[in-house]
Structure 1
Amino acid sequence: MRKSAAPSLRTFGSKSVSVSERLAGPATKTTDENSSIIPSEYSDNSTAKLVYNVVWGKRSTKKHKTFEGDGTLTISSKTATLRNSDGSYLGSSTIKPEEIEIGCRLTIGSNELEIIEQTTGVQLPKRKTDDSEERQESESRKRKANPASFQPYLVLSHSVRKNSASKMNFGLEKQNDFEPLIMPEPPEEHQSKFNPTNRSIKEVNIIPCCARALRPHQREGVQFLYECLMGFRSPERFGCILADEMGLGKTLQCITVCYTLLKQGPYGLNVANRILILAPSSLVDNWCKEISKWLGQLRAFTFQIDSKHKIQDFINAKHIPFLLISYEMFAKHFDELKNVHFDVMICDEGHRLKNQSVKISTLLNQIDCARRVILTGTPIQNDLQEFYALIDFVNPNILGTYSEYKKTYETPILASQQPHASEWVIELGEERAEELNQLTSGFILRRTHDVITKYLPKKQEFVVFCKQTDLQRELIQRTLELYENNDDPANGLQIITSLKKICNHPALINTGNQNDALTEQIRQLVPSWQDMGPFDSGKLCVLDDLLHEMHKRQEKLVLISYHTKTLNVLQEWLNYLNFTNCRLDGTTPTNARNSIVEDFNNPDKDFFIFLLSAKAGGVGLNLIGASRLVLFDNDWNPASDLQAMSRIWRDGQKKEVFIYRFILAGSIEEKIFQRQLSKVALTGCIVDQSSKKEKLKLSNEELKDLFSTQQSNDECATHELLNCQCNGDGLNVQEASETGVQSTSEPSKSLQMDQLSSWQHYKYPIDSNLLAEMCMPNATENIVFIFRNQNDVEM
């Protein structure tokens, strides 16, 4: 059913109104038999027919109006005739043509209707308010003179109520540089199955206001989504995965395709009426803003579930196509939503569905919706079991049951990757991997930042190895001695947790709820908090210099940590320095997150530092108000680090970007970083994400390597692993091929050894010109080594 053209809270540029007012729509307008003079510009068309698409229903005094069906309203002279979508007569009345506006409601006989759009005939009367509207009117006359070029949805640009958005150029009028985006026609196999009556094939055009904004890779993505959701690539499959890296515009690509399916179809009918969009709670508001930005003028409305706006309100509001909801809210309201039919389901940050046994995956699989899209910026091929879960969600049973998949693909592929695999095993594994790739490549699309680098400002990345302070070195050594003298191997997890806290700041040892004997012994080693300060952390020493220099230059910084206790320490220190800051973590109310981001990005707002929890806001957030970002600690999963560091280098950024990854040299942090570089799979890491309780998943040999310490505090063990013979002055960098490390085929994925070899290398004492460019001119005594990469240097 078509959407209503009632006013919306989400209309871009309009004054906000409540959802209840939006559902009620405009006041009903009853026809008046007292005729008035038709504007002179329409006097020559007094006998012409005007035809409009409408939604209609029985007259009702209910506040939340529910329409019963689609129809057409034909106006000939002063007579308006209402017919159902099947052509059956519903009533007629006299009417003033000049009173007709898109979105207005009329009463004809016992039925009430709402105007959706004009389909044929002369254009609607318009108020000439500015030059842009006069230009639109001129283009309207051109379309009337050339009916072949007429597109029904273009008329909507003339009928929007006068507001600030009406003066914006949404690209609805013709421009010389506009290249139309036309979707492919359905293949013969699709037509034979879904078009048995041989209806004529209609050309499906992407609406110009979106098509003009799409970059080449996004146009490719829109076509990919359209073909998959329509079943063009396989008549039995309608799902897909868009796995573009962060910042490539996955949201706009989806919005474009969704509106196309709501309004058009290759066989003359629209494909979708209701669309479900699920996202992390921190991104729901962003989806609303983006839909309003791109579709607000076209009156495509959104609905969000909260304490005031219930599921039943959405069910009753047939003219609202988009339901935006967080995963947590979906689980809470599942019993009400499970019987609602959705034509398209989009799961943003959908890699959270990688475990089929978790509750949200189980619930979503019960929704009756074949067209499913997973959006993820995280590579999904790292774990074959997780890969199966995501594939099976978007296209159920395409790989058979998991036991069949494991026998056919997973086991042979994993066996072929073992160090002592025989030639026959390797050959079989490669054959099955190629077969799996061919089976799934048709509905998986992934592009890297390489496709938009030319549109973005310069970026510099730094891996900064900070020197341990005397207190950190002593605490790390004594903690490892306690572990060596302890016979319980289960204590490895407690040791890792304690070592990671010491790397950030020794005072963090006294935080947390761990009360085991080993942790208590470690706490006895830590001085009282009165005897410690910010400079007992090597990373804080470097950060202090960076912040003071940035404050002088009036630049903004995003400061990220995986631990809220670390954020507490950092925020307390920033407040002591009188550095203005804002913060977003797991405790931040969902309805406050968007305003915090907007305030920080606003150059007129006095926020110097954005404190961000990588777990709560490491995905999806756009923090282009900052030009520098510091990842204060690292995660076992390299994809998580990549997500967190992509917050500022993305579309809309105008300044040169500097991204710093702080690592405490010679510590467990450097060992974790090395594991990332060595492409160790996530399944071999310390935390089993599928369990509510953390479990140790490292062998004794791996623990021994993890806890091995570096004798010298002035050398970089990671640089030594590269077998690089450079002087550490950033000049004679080796090519990846010279290091003997195999090159990766996807350079923009998580950082790998061969890529790090081609970065610039700087050892202590660090070049003063580099430190000045890094905005930390006085930090040389606190830095052991720096790896540097610039995006205009081939990686």
Structure 2
Amino acid sequence: MKVLWRRVILDEAHIVRNHKSATSMAVSALKGKRRWCLTGTPVQNKDLDLFALLKFLRCTPFDDLTMWKKWIDNKSIGGQERMSTVMRCILLRRTKVQLQQKGQLACLPDRQAHLEEVTLTKEEMNVYQKVLVFSKTLFAQFLHQRAEKQADGALTSSVKNSAYDKMHKRMIALQGAKPVKSHEILVLLLRLRQVCCHCGLIAAMLDEDTADAVAEDAGQDLLAELNKLSLEDGNRRKSRNKEEEEDEGPELESTTAAEAIRSVLSPNNPVFELSRMSSKISAVMNCLRENVFANKDHKAVVVSQWTSVLRLVEAELEKERIKNVTLSGSVPVPARPPLIDAINNPKSNVRVMLLSLCAGGVGLNLCGANHLLLLDPHWNPQLEEQAQDRIYRVGQTKPVHIYRFMCVDTVEQSIRTLQQAKLELAENVLTGARNTNASKLTIEDLKMLFNMGPS
């Protein structure tokens, strides 16, 4: 800290976007006559990401959090204009598209993006819908609790201490309804996203012998709670035609919705077997066969945010005897260069790299592959942009193809909508546009994700 550096350069500066982190505070304390930030994604989630960079750059007075919130992050047009002015003064931006338009990156080949829509099977969609029903029920309870809390906050102290208020609280306590916490809602969103990849990813939570069950305590009792869920099946049940009623007979007519849920979500249901190929994994394998394996000089990088999904793809590759390597956060740093060399070396028989999204975000050159498959959408779209840049960079000689897999009629489509909003936010900030929208996950966003109304 006592050294006065001539120049301090912070590479991959977005890593310190949390101004409260120890790393961010440490680099901000360095002394230097000149300070630089290098990053391809200065804004990943929200405007506050920029504050940490301005704090490191000591861009007075906006390197002070109080001043930042007062003059920049105040949800006003004036704040947006001040941010645009600051960015135009301190930002030097060069994108691949800008340089290509100037003819300065003629060495880069063409890049094409493909949207691969996946339709879940009837059995998979049944599981998804049952989890969705439970999620909606829990989320509705969460909204009700939130509304009651806000209403209580608006009451005067005399009303809060009234006999009516005390009786109301006693009645709620007698109902035995447990308060729903916000993290439980996010866990349910996680389960819905996992079902899109493979139903077995949520069934594994019931197996106490697996490491996943230990690591995911927050969702350990999901299926147990789903099995307890009972729905009114009188007016809500869809009307059947007479032939169906006669075929089913009185025994099936008396089947409750709760029993139907138990049958679908039973661990004995074959759809939960990890050895069974899911719709999305099947689509991924078909894409690899048609676009990669059919061309001897082509290679692919398969990206997922969950190593459990990568293991499912690895199992299918092993069945077809396709040589592959896996690079995830669990791989020690000294062991990574041989894996990278294996995919980049054209003489190597390794055709596929299975890459964890967080482990492969930055600092990797994977130009040996020219196909990248994004299996599941992430909340932070910039991580996916960075993953694409692993293969689409200077040194790539073959046409690049990016495949994004998305299950139709599921939460994945809603997440993609939120991703596009975040990318638009980042673009507006970096280009000096005046109109930017907040990107924090709001109640309205959650309603959209659970199909409970437009955002």
Superposition TM-score, scaled by structure 2 size: 0.69
Please give the alpha-carbon distance, in whole angstroms, between the structure 1 residues aligned to 2:129 and 2:53: 43
- Compared CA separation, residues 557 and 415, structure 1 to 2 (3 A): same
Counterpart in 1 of 2:57? 394
Counterpart in 1 of 2:127?
475
Change (3 A) 1:415 1:519: farther
Compared with structure 1, are the counterparts of its residues 477 and 369 closer, same or farther at alpha carbon in structure 2 (3 Å cutoff)?
Answer: same
Instruction: Give the superposition deviation at 1:370.
Output: 3.4
1:144-180 alpha-carbon deviations (Å, 9 max, x no partner): xxxxxxxxxxxxxxxxxxxxxxxxxxxxxxxxxxxxx
Residue 462 of structure 1 aligns to a residue whose secondary structure is: strand
Q: CA deviation at 1:344?
A: 2.9
Distance in structure 1 (CA, Å) of the matches to 2:342 and 2:366: 10
Q: In 2, are the aligned partners of 1:344 and 1:370 still within 8 Å (CA)?
A: yes
| Superposed displacement of residue 626, structure 1 | 0.8
Once the two structures are superposed, the pairs formed by residues 651-730 of structure 1 within 5 Å of their partners are 651-679=394-422, 697-699=441-443, 701-708=444-451
Distance 1:499 1:588 in 2: 28
Max radius of gyration: which structure? Answer: 1
Q: Which of 79, 83, 91 is the matching residue for 1:444?
A: 91
**Which one-letter code corresponds to 1:542 in the other structure?**
A
Superposition map of 1:419-498 within 5 A: 429=78, 432-450=79-97, 451-452=99-100, 454-486=106-138, 487=141, 489-490=180-181, 491-498=184-191
Q: 1:404 to 1:552 in 2, by over 3 A?
A: closer
CA distance in 2, matches of 1:475, 1:529: 10
Partner of 1:749: none
Equivalent in 603, 612, 623 of residue 366 of structure 2 = 623
Kindly indicate whether the alpha-carbon contact (under 8 Å) linking 1:507 and 1:529 is maintained by their aligned counterparts in 2: no
Which residue in the other structure is 2:230 paired with? none
Is structure 2 residue 196 aligned with structure 1 residue 503?
yes
Residues 586-625 of structure 1 aligned to structure 2 (within 5 Å): 586-625=329-368
> Does structure 1 conserve the Cα–Cα contact (< 8 Å) formed by 2:198 and 2:278?
yes
How far 1:395 moved relative to its partner?
2.8
What residue is the counterpart of 1:544 in the other structure?
Answer: 285
Distance in 2 between residues matched to 1:339 and 1:529, nearest whole Å: 65
Q: What is the CA–CA distance in structure 1 between the aligned matches of 2:450 and 2:343, rounded to whole Å?
A: 40
Instruction: Give 1:496's aligned amino acid.
Output: L
Show the counterpart of 2:73. 410
Equivalent residue for 1:573? Answer: 316
Distance 1:433 1:698 in 2: 20
Q: Is the 8 A contact 1:534 1:540 kept in 2?
A: no
Distance 1:685 1:434, change over 3 A: closer
1:333 match? none
2:378 match: secondary structure:
coil
Tell me how far 1:538 sits from its aligned partner. Answer: 1.9
Asked if 1:380 is matched to 2:43, the reply is yes
Kept in 1, the 8 Å contact 2:300–2:369? The answer is yes
Q: 2-side partners of 1:623 and 1:559: how far apart?
A: 12
Higher mean displacement: 636-645 or 608-617? 636-645
SS of residue matched to 2:294:
helix
> Which structure carries more helix by proportion?
2
- State the shift of 1:600 in Å: 1.3
Contact 1:534 1:541 in 2 (8 A): no
1:640 aligns with 2:390: no
User: In the aligned structure 2, how far is the partner of 1:502 from the partner of 1:439?
Assistant: 44
Normalized against structure 1, the TM-score is what? 0.41
Q: CA offset at residue 573 of structure 1?
A: 2.5
Contact 1:534 1:573 survives alignment (8 Å): no
1:485 to partner: Cα distance: 3.9
Q: How many residues align?
A: 348
Deviation at 1:637, TM superposition (A): 1.8
Cα offsets for 1:195-219 (capped at 9, x unmatched): xxxxxxxxxxxxxxxxxxxxxxxxx
**After superposition, what is the alpha-carbon deviation per residue over 1:37-70, rounded to whole angstroms, capped at 9, x for unaligned?**
xxxxxxxxxxxxxxxxxxxxxxxxxxxxxxxxxx
Distance 2:3 2:349 in 1: 45
The one-letter amino acid of 1:402's match is L
Unpaired runs of 5+ residues, structure 1, are 1-337, 417-428, 687-696, 711-716, 722-795
Q: Which has the higher contact order (CA 8 A, sep 6+)?
A: 2
Cα–Cα, structure 1 residues 346 and 593, in superposed 2: closer, same or farther, change >3 Å? Answer: farther
CA distance in 2, matches of 1:582, 1:536: 20
Aligned to 2:221: 517
- CA deviation profile, 1:633-685 (whole Å, cap 9, x unmatched): 11112222211122211111111111101111111111100122344869966
Q: What is the CA–CA distance in structure 2 between the aligned matches of 1:543 and 1:357, rounded to whole Å?
A: 40
Structure 2, unaligned runs of 5 or more: 142-178, 206-211, 228-261, 427-436
> Which of 580, 585, 589 is 2:328 aligned to?
585
Give the CA deviation at 1:388.
Answer: 1.9
Name the amino acid aligned to 1:374. C
Partner Cα separation in structure 2 for residue 709 and residue 400 of structure 1: 40
Equivalent residues of 1:666, 1:709 under 8 A apart: no
Q: CA deviation at 1:569?
A: 2.0
Aligned-partner Cα distance in 1 for 2:2–2:23:
16
> In the aligned structure 2, how far is the partner of 1:526 from the partner of 1:628?
38
SS of the residue aligned with 2:317? helix
Candidates 17, 26, 30, aligned match of 1:354: 17
Q: 1:552/1:402 Cα in 2 relative to 1: closer, same or farther (>3 Å)? A: same
Contact 2:367 2:396 in 1 (8 A): yes
Alpha-carbon distance in 1 for matches of 2:358, 2:276: 27
After superposition, the C-alpha distances for 1:700-745 in whole angstroms (9 at most, x for unaligned) are x4323212299xxxxxx9xxx9xxxxxxxxxxxxxxxxxxxxxxxx
Distance 2:302 2:452 in 1: 28
Distance 2:329 2:266 in 1: 28
CA contact (8 A) 1:631 1:661 kept: yes
Instruction: Tell me the distance in 2 between the aligned counterparts of 1:575 and 1:345.
Output: 47
Identity %: 29
CA contact (8 A) 1:346 1:375 kept: yes
Cα drift, residue 342 of structure 1: 4.0
Tell me how far apart the structure 2 counterparts of residues 539 and 435 of structure 1 sit (CA, whole Å). Answer: 45
Compute the displacement of 1:530 (Å): 6.4
Partner of 1:674, secondary structure, is helix
> Counterparts of 1:557 and 1:575 in 2: how far apart (Å)?
15
SS of structure 1 residue aligned to 2:402: strand
* 3-state SS of paired residue (1:553): coil
